[in-house]
Amino acid sequence: MASAAEVNFDQVKTASEDGSSVILDVRNPDEFAAGHIPSAVNVPLGELQEALGLAADKFQEKYKAALPGKEAAVICHCKMGGRAAKGCDVMKEAGFTNVQIYKGSFMDWTEKGGQVVKE
């Protein structure tokens, strides 16, 4: 499977501010609650495949966000990039066509001074 296109800090910052892409955080809920990128949606990697198969209303109810459409721009990230790469693969296998990876993920985000939201 072709690897996902990579995005950088500035692209993620723009997406976070204008909603041009869904920022998908595939870390565990406790990691997400401890700090995450503004507007990010938390779907833990272990649940992702099942989550993408949910009806839109069930996805909204469980993840407090709209289920992205198959053509929607989605940026996967985790803590350092490993789980994000797996998340991209899961999404592609589910038929999503515009999936990107934030390789530096949350570590890069915080190192560059990105805003962090805590639950």
Cα 11 from Cα 57, distance rounded (Å) = 29
Which of these is catalytic: 24, 37, 78, 88? 78
* Under 8 Å between Cβ of 114 and 9: yes
Q: Give the separation between CA 58 and CA 51, rounded to whole angstroms.
A: 9
Phi, psi of 117 (to 5 degrees): -100, 130
In one-letter notation, the amino acid at residue 93 is E
Query: Among this protein's residues, is 88 annotated catalytic?
Result: no
- Tokens 């800090």 — which residue? 9
Show which residues are catalytic: 78
